[in-house]
């Protein structure tokens, strides 16, 4: 079965209408005002992904707004739905501020899976990167520490995300000016049983689930996955967040997956406008090791290293921010721009010459005086000797 048999999604944003087309020529259409699952009235379309769409919906009885994600029909069979159902119950029991809460799930019209979650007033990390470019290190680290906290909670409850990527990280601003991170779409990729290697944003082939741009090597091979696979995907996400580009991107999903299996990942600095210090380079490199045994073994280990880097950057930022920006060439991102690095080197050479000249001037003066004094003394001695030997 190839990608042409995948259900397609047509979205009319103006009419807020979604049409799912299946391989059997059967179409399922949803409009604002329709009721899903006998309880949720669709209000307005708020997003679209590779597997479905998201509406803001209101519960008819309790008058509460939620986000309702409708998945394309034909994406599931009995086995995958039972697996998702079990995991969905586990997710519903997870209570953590960095994990979006799932309130309900079901199948509408006997074909379209849906689930109901918090309606979040924010943007995805993917939108943040595409809109503003790479995120500076000082801003990125608190985001990723929250991601680690959410994943740690899930992993301790034996739940693996399987599809960590910027699009599944929501950034929700608070009234205090901070950002709360919410991880969404836990286990959603496992719903699909179709092949779709033409779509690098979302692929499912047999038991290969996830997004090729962020897949771990073992994930691309359809092997068993655990917490360390999420850690690899998180490393890809951190790489993209700091540089604005993913570590691997081939001409096709298959080529990208082969790159994850065979190629060493690039360092951050060569593909970025900034120079990153050794600490964060080592963290990202360890996340992206091909062999899962050589990566961080738990998300808490990764969080510990990120916390240490963040604390050091934060202390430096508060202790001498003016000196850092003027003299050290480091900007508020905690990284050093390459142009600043070059200027810093030239400036250091000029300062060194200036210091040498200022320190050598007194020495040269003293030496000159000594030479002059010695010459005068020799002249006097010579004159005296000559006067003494005259007849």
Q: What is the pLDDT of residues 165-221, one digit of tens each?
A: 999 999 999 999 899 999 998 755 455 444 333 445 444 433 445 689 999 999 999
Q: What are phi and psi of 207, to 5 degrees?
A: -105, 20
Question: Catalytic annotation on 108?
Answer: no
- Between CA 254 and CA 50, with CA 87 as vertex, the angle to 5 degrees is 40
> What's the pLDDT tens digit per position in 291-326?
999 999 999 999 999 999 999 998 887 775 556 555
Report DSSP letters for 180-212, one per residue.
Answer: EEEE--TTGGGG--S--TT-SSSEEETTEEE-G
The active-site residue, picked from 163, 230, 305, 320, is 163
> For residue 70, which of 32, 108, 96 has the smallest C-alpha distance?
108
Over the chain, what is the mean pLDDT?
A: 79
Q: How far apart are CA 227 and CA 155, in angstroms?
A: 6
**What is the pLDDT averaged over residues 37-60?**
89
Q: What are phi and psi of 42, to 5 degrees?
A: -70, 130
CA 234 → CA 29, 57, 81, 139, 371, distances in Å?
35, 31, 26, 16, 71
User: Residues 286, 289, 293, 294: is their CA dihedral positive or negative?
Assistant: negative
Secondary structure class of 114 (helix, strand, coil): strand
Q: Please, is 242 exposed, middle or buried when counting C-beta atoms within 10 Å of its C-beta (0-12, 13-18, 19+)?
A: buried
- At 334, the pLDDT band (50, 70, 90 cuts) reads low
Q: What are phi and psi of 210, to 5 degrees?
A: 130, -165
Which residues sit opposite 123 in a β-bridge?
Answer: 171
Domains plus CATH for the chain? 1-119 (3.30.200.20), 121-321+330-335 (1.10.510.10)
Given a contact cutoff of 8 angstroms between Cβ atoms, the answer to whether 184 and 69 are in contact is: no
């Amino acid at each position: 079965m190839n990608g042409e048999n995948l259900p397609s999604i047509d979205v009319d944003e103006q009419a807020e209408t979604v049409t799912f087309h299946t391989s059997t020529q059967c179409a399922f259409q949803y409009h604002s005002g329709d009721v899903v699952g006998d309880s949720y009235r669709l209000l307005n379309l708020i997003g679209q992904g590779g597997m479905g769409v998201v509406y803001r919906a209101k519960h008819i009885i309790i008058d509460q707004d939620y986000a309702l994600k409708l998945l394309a029909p034909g994406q599931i069979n009995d086995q995958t739905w039972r697996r998702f159902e079990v995991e969905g119950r586990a997710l519903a029991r997870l209570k953590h501020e960095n994990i979006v809460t799932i309130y309900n799930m079901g199948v509408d019209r006997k074909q379209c899976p849906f689930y109901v979650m918090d309606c979040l007033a924010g943007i995805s990390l993917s939108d943040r990167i595409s809109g503003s470019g790479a995120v500076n290190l000082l801003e990125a680290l608190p985001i990723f520490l929250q991601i680690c906290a959410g994943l740690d909670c899930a992993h301790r409850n034996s739940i693996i995300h399987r599809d960590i990527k910027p699009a599944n990280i929501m950034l929700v601003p608070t009234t205090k000016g901070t950002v709360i991170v919410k991880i969404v779409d836990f286990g959603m990729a496992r719903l699909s049983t179709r092949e779709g290697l033409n779509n690098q944003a979302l692929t499912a082939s047999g038991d290969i689930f996830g997004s090729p741009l962020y897949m771990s090597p073992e994930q691309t091979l359809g092997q068993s996955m655990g917490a360390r696979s999420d850690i690899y995907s998180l490393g890809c996400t951190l790489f993209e967040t700091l540089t604005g580009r993913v570590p691997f991107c081939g001409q096709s999903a298959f080529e990208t997956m082969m790159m994850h299996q065979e190629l060493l990942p690039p360092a951050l600095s060569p593909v970025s406008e900034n120079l990153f210090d050794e600490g964060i380079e080592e963290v990202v490199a360890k996340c992206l090791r091909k062999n899962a045994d050589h990566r961080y073994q738990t998300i808490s280990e990764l969080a510990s290293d990120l916390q240490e880097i963040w604390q050091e950057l934060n202390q430096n930022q508060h202790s001498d921010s003016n000196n850092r920006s003027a003299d050290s060439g480091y900007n508020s991102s905690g990284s050093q721009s390459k142009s600043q690095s070059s200027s810093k080197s030239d400036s250091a050479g000029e300062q060194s010459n200036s210091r040498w000249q200022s320190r050598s001037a007194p020495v040269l003066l003293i030496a000159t005086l000594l030479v002059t004094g010695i010459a005068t003394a020799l002249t006097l001695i010579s004159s005296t000797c000559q006067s003494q030997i005259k007849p």
